[in-house]
Structure 1
Amino acid sequence: MASSRDRQRKLARAKLDRQLARRAARAKRHRQIQAGVGAAVVLALIVVGSAWALGAFDSKPKPEAAEDVCLWTPQDASANTNLKDVGKPPATGLPTTGTRTMTVTTNQGDPITAELDLASAPCAAASISYLAGKSFYDNTTCHEITTEGALHCGDPSGTGIGGPTYSFYDEYLPTGAKPSASASPAPDEPATYPKGTVAMAANPPGSNGSQFLIFFKDFTTETPTYPIIGKITGGLDVVEKIGALATVDNGNGAKVKPKTDVVIQSLTVGEANLGAAASSSAS
């Protein structure tokens, strides 16, 4: 028989083995829990990082930036005191199809109406509409009857170098006449600027502001510098009557100033008619 001491040693050994087994089991469970928590944390970090990268935590959704339709270039009124600061038109959200009706009321008879082409000259139409809303043209004079056969208006200073404190680029320049051996264009040559054409005028060319021309007779040139913006739809006879007025020296040696003042009493521009097909001379 085993002695009492041997039995005690065996019992103690069995107890120790059971304790070690329980400790090992607890350690294994602890490691499993830690591994599970760690994996969950890593997964959560991946999800949160991906959501952040995609903008899920932005306070407000960022709208797409609207693309500018027109570029308004600032002009220095301190360098040119003939400029008048009335702000500048918006550059975005402008209509680029259809037409707008411009109505010019002068002291020379019935109102003159024109169709501004938004497809070929959206910025010119936007500029004139904006300035009209500021009464920029009201009670100003058309300071010139040009040698090309056009009434020149839109400069409050009457100097030919006045306008707003911004400018914009040419939008539609017509094709010039083909070079001719003679001084006159060929009989079948279409006019560069047909009678009734409305165009921008700028000094220097390409720095358009507020000035515009209304042609009361056909004009053909090999080198067009006036961007077309529309055509007359009513009152062309009034423009022709103004074009027949006597002219005097404008103070610079050019006999182009109307002897009788031609005053724009008001100029307005209607809302865009987006369903109208463009039918100006630019088409």
Structure 2
Amino acid sequence: MTRALRRSILLALATASLLSACGDDSQAATNTADTADTADTAVTSVTSAEAADGCAPADGSAAKQQTFTAAPPVCLEKGASYAAVIETNRGTLHVTLRADIAPQTVNSFVNLARYHYFDGTTCHRAIQGFVVQCGDPTATGQGGPGYEFSDELPTEAYQVGSIAMANAGPNTNGSQFFIITGANGAALPPNYSLFGQVDAADLSVVGDLDAVANPADGPPLQPIDIVKVTITEQ
């Protein structure tokens, strides 16, 4: 088998793994709300029962929470823009969140971050020139928040520094996401909700993440840990 063919097979398996890695049989609670027609009405309306966990305070004062009964209600402010600062042990990523193209996804990510869901977690998977996958508190590839929500598939192309949701098939988004670290990741089909972009000034940090990624598949060669995720609103 040639090296090129072996690499192609590995990448095909890795792409399939993005679909399977975040499946969780315990995630029985799903978001059954209707998606809003436009980004102005933003995200998804939910019933009062589904809103039991509520929106975390915007000031970051919520206690850490990693288990939820349902997808969050609408927590984004109409007309506001959002960004995330993802502090890792390999450097800090400033991320522009794309509520204009993925309002439901950004809503979930923002609320989880405000509940400190991602703080102190390990990115369980990193493939060189492809992606770094994070967002699972169990670091097994099987963890999630206890709810799922619908896809918001992109019309824009992925690029290095794009952040998108991992999933276990259509409409099974939870908390796991991946950062595209190379050309092979940028060539993924548009099957994953694109919701953020690392700022150009921090693409060198994306390169640092890729430098410790696995040349095949699996955990990174050296740990990639999320220290803290902070949300800013303007």
- Once the two structures are superposed, the pairs formed by residues 1-283 of structure 1 within 5 Å of their partners are 69-70=43-44, 84-88=66-70, 90-92=72-74, 94-95=76-77, 97=79, 99-109=81-91, 111-146=92-127, 149-174=130-155, 192-218=157-183, 219-221=186-188, 223-233=189-199, 234-247=201-214, 255-271=217-233, 273=234
State the TM-score, normalizing by the size of structure 2. Answer: 0.65
Q: Deviations over 1:16-66 (max 9, x none)?
A: xxxxxxxxxxxxxxxxxxxxxxxxxxxxxxxxxxxxxxxxxxxxxxxxxxx
Whichever residue aligns with residue 127 of structure 1, its letter is S
Whichever residue aligns with residue 192 of structure 2, its letter is Y
Question: Which residue does the alignment assign to 1:278?
Answer: none
Q: CA RMSD in A?
A: 2.7
Cα distance in structure 1, aligned partners of 2:218 and 2:165? 18
Cα distance in structure 2, aligned partners of 1:119 and 1:107? 30
- Higher relative contact order at CA 8 Å, sep ≥6: structure 1 or structure 2? 2
Cα distance in structure 2, aligned partners of 1:240 and 1:172? 26
Cα distance in structure 1, aligned partners of 2:153 and 2:192? 8
Whichever residue aligns with residue 268 of structure 1, its letter is T
- 108 and 93 in structure 1: CA distance in 2 versus 1, 3 angstrom threshold: closer
- Identical residues among aligned pairs (%): 32
- 146 and 225 in structure 1: CA distance in 2 versus 1, 3 angstrom threshold: farther
State the TM-score, normalizing by the size of structure 1. Answer: 0.55
Cα distance in structure 1, aligned partners of 2:78 and 2:191? 22
Aligned length, in residue pairs: 174
Whichever residue aligns with residue 213 of structure 1, its letter is F
Cα distance in structure 1, aligned partners of 2:167 and 2:129? 15
- 207 and 261 in structure 1: CA distance in 2 versus 1, 3 angstrom threshold: same
